[in-house]
């Protein structure tokens, strides 16, 4: 006979935290959001930790190299999507690892033949007004000049004029060699009163740009997630089909942590993949597994050596798995049960295996609820897809800026490796949609605000660390009437924009 669970499964919005005593030392700036990323033994330190409890989803529309760099700067980690060729995923990982803090690979490049009209188009598209001119128009081509908004006057010039006629030519540019440190570059920027310093290699090929404005922001970023060689840390997704080729390529490219990307991770394929990685690399390669939604799923992956376990089926914003297949579980209930299994495992074995709540975070406060319920960190797709650095195209729909956000189980992503059962090698039916999300600007500003809110709520609960929050949190289920009471009610709201909440 089938097993029935005694209680209904709940989502985050059905819970609230009841404040605990706020001591005078409970101020947001004193809260530490550092959290373990991979398993560790009692009394030891984890080999990898995050400085903020946020990672970005293994998705084409979320985790490319640009978002990887932006998130590592804030202290979190991106897991580069695996629904692409091994070579291109490894190249993205390498790009994050090679991105030096404060050194930017230019994404607006032109040739000497680019016309003023084309320059203006590009400025509109990328929002960047500084454009290196390279021989072949690539980010690493031979440097021949630089165009900034100071080089042209639209009202006085013809749109067909070529960049070669108005750019600042190579011989007039101050540049630095790729071996220069950030502080040496900064000295040059000050000495020559520059806004942008191109960095070139010995053959005069462009490598990076260093911006005056970035130096300050880099110095202000104490939470940056860096490896022992001071390179940004980055994760990468793998699947249960081609891991024997994909894992070595990603490890060579410098990936700091891997994660098995499957919609249902309670499977023998995951066990095989985990065991193969352990056999080949011992515990030098870190790999998370999932997704699961209950104790049995957690224990299975723990027994097969997962470094962390990802929780969540069917709660993602673009996800239609519950509708198409009838599997899943309310995300809050899933996290609460898996966190219990994690704690029991720790009691039994002395090994702490972090858990990640994946999908279904709509409001910022859902993150702090997930942490309070026992998650060590959260994975977000929709949240990050809205930012400038996400790979999706920025478009205008009904006069508002939006970004594209599509599920890995949609026909657009065709990530059959994540969903296919039995090795057909194709996506038999869709489990995700293709959508738009409101554009929300740069990652830094949003993550700063989100983490500030998390810190504030933690203060309300009297907690200065995530562990303290988990120990002290008091959570209550709320009735549907009290959910209505939780928003603005019985007033005529002047501005219906609720973005303050997200």
Beta bridge mates, 257: 235
Residue 316 assigned ligand-binding role: yes
Beta strands in 49-192 (DSSP E): 49-50, 54-56, 77-80, 131-134, 143-147, 168-169, 176-177
Tokens of 212: 């005056």
Minimum Å distance from CB 146 to ligand IMP? 39
* Closer residue to ligand IMP (CB): 60 or 196: 60
Interface with ligand IMP by CB under 6 A: which residues? 57, 59, 263, 312, 316-319, 321, 358-361, 379-383, 407-410, 431-432
Here the tokens at position 357 are 């709540």
Nearer to ligand IMP, 36 or 288 (CB): 288
Please state the separation of Cα 426 from the chain's center in Å: 27
Query: For ligand IMP, which is the closer residue by CB, 122 or 379?
Result: 379
Sort strands 287-292 and 308-311 into parallel, antiparallel or unpaired. parallel
Nearest distance from C-beta of residue 11 to ligand IMP, angstroms:
11
**Cβ-based nearer residue to ligand IMP, 317 or 470:** 317
227 has binding-site annotation: no
Burial class of residue 374 in the structure, from the number of CB atoms within 10 Å of its CB (0-12 exposed, 13-18 middle, 19+ buried): buried
Q: Residue 194 Cβ, how far from ligand IMP at the closest point, in Å?
A: 40
- Specify whether 418 is catalytic: yes
Q: What residues have CB less than 8 Å from 208, skipping those under 6 apart?
A: 100, 103, 104, 105, 106, 178, 198, 199
Does the annotation flag 155 for ligand binding?
no
- Exposure string for 8-17, b = 16+ CB within 10 A, e = fewer: ebbbbbbbbb
Catalytic choice (185, 207, 257, 319): 319
CA end-to-end distance (rounded Å), the chain = 43
Considering the complex, state which of residue 330 and residue 432 has its C-beta at the smaller distance from ligand IMP. 432
**Minimum separation from the CB atom of position 431 to ligand IMP (A):** 4
Report strand pairing: 355-358 vs 308-311. parallel
Give least dist CB 498 to ligand IMP, A: 17
Choose between 286 and 382: whose C-beta lies nearer to ligand IMP: 382
Between residues 361 and 372, which has the closer beta carbon with respect to ligand IMP? Answer: 361
Query: Closest separation between CB of residue 13 and ligand IMP, Å?
Result: 13
For residue 219, what are its two tokens? 């110095």
Is 262 flagged in the annotation as binding? yes
The string of DSSP codes covering 338-386 is: HHHHHHHHHHHHSEE--EEEES---SHHHHHHHHHTT-SEEEESHHHHT
Q: For residue 315, give Cα distances in angstroms to 34, 195, 246, 327, 360.
A: 25, 45, 28, 11, 5
Whether residue 261 is annotated as binding a ligand: the answer is yes
- Closer by beta carbon to ligand IMP, 379 or else 463: 379
Nearest to 291 by CA among 418, 134, 195: 418
Residue 434 burial (CB count, 10 A): 15
Instruction: Count Cβ atoms below 10 Å from residue 281 Cβ, excluding itself.
Output: 14
DSSP 145: E
Kindly name the residue from 185, 418, 455, 461 that is annotated as catalytic. 418
User: Least Å distance between CB 57 and ligand IMP?
Assistant: 3
Residue 314 annotated as binding site: yes
Residue count (the chain): 502
Q: How far is the CB of 390 from ligand IMP (least distance, A)?
A: 12
Q: How many helices (H) and strands (E) does the chain have?
A: 17, 23
Query: What are the binding residues for NAD(+)?
Result: 261-263, 312-314
Residue ranges for the known binding site are 261-263, 312-314, 316, 319
Catalytic residues: 319, 418
- The annotation places the binding site for K(+) at 314, 316, 319
């Amino acid at each position: 006979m089938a097993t029935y669970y005694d209680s209904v499964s709940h989502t985050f919005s059905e819970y609230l935290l009841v404040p605990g005593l706020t001591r005078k030392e409970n101020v947001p700036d004193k809260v530490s959001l550092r959290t373990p990323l991979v398993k560790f033994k009692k009394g030891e330190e984890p080999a990898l930790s995050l400085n903020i409890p946020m990672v970005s989803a293994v998705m084409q529309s979320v985790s490319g190299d640009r978002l990887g760099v932006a998130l590592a700067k804030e202290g979190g980690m991106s897991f580069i999507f695996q629904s692409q060729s091994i070579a291109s995923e490894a190249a993205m990982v390498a790009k994050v690892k090679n991105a030096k803090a404060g050194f930017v690979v230019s994404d607006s490049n032109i040739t000497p033949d680019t016309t003023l009209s084309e320059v203006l188009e590009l400025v509109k598209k990328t929002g960047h007004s500084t454009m290196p001119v390279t021989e072949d128009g690539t980010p690493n081509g031979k440097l021949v000049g630089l165009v900034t908004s100071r080089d042209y006057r639209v009202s006085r010039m013809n749109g067909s004029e070529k960049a070669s006629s108005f750019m600042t030519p190579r011989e007039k540019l101050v540049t630095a060699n790729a071996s220069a440190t950030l502080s040496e570059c900064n000295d040059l920027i000050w000495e020559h009163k520059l806004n942008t310093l191109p960095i070139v290699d010995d053959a005069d090929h462009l490598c990076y740009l260093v911006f005056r404005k970035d130096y300050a922001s880099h110095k202000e970023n104490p939470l940056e997630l860096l490896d022992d060689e001071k390179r940004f840390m980055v994760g990468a997704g793998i699947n249960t089909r081609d891991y024997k080729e994909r894992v070595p390529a990603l490890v060579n490219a410098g990936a700091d942590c891997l994660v098995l990307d499957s919609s249902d991770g309670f499977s023998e394929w995951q066990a095989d993949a985990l065991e193969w990685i352990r056999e080949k690399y011992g515990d030098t390669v870190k790999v998370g597994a999932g997704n699961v939604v209950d104790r049995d799923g957690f224990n299975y992956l723990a027994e097969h050596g997962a470094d962390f376990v990802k929780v969540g089926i069917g709660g993602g914003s673009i996800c239609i798995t519950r509708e198409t297949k009838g599997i899943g579980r309310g995300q809050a209930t899933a996290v609460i049960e898996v966190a219990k299994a994690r704690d029991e495992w720790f009691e039994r074995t002395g090994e702490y295996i972090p858990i990640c709540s994946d999908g279904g975070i709509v409001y910022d406060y859902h993150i702090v609820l997930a942490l309070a319920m026992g998650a060590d960190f959260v994975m977000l797709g929709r949240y990050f897809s809205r930012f400038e650095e996400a790979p999706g195209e920025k478009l205008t729909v009904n006069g508002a800026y939006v970004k594209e956000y599509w599920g890995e189980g949609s026909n657009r992503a065709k990530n059959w490796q994540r969903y296919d059962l039995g090795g057909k090698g194709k996506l038999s039916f869709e489990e995700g949609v293709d959508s738009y999300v409101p554009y929300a600007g740069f990652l830094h500003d949003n993550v700063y605000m989100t983490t500030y809110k998390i810190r504030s709520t933690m203060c309300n609960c009297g907690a200065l660390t995530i562990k303290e929050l988990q120990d002290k949190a008091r959570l209550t289920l709320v009735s549907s009437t009290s959910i209505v009471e939780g928003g603005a009610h019985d007033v005529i709201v002047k501005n219906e924009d609720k973005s303050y909440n997200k």
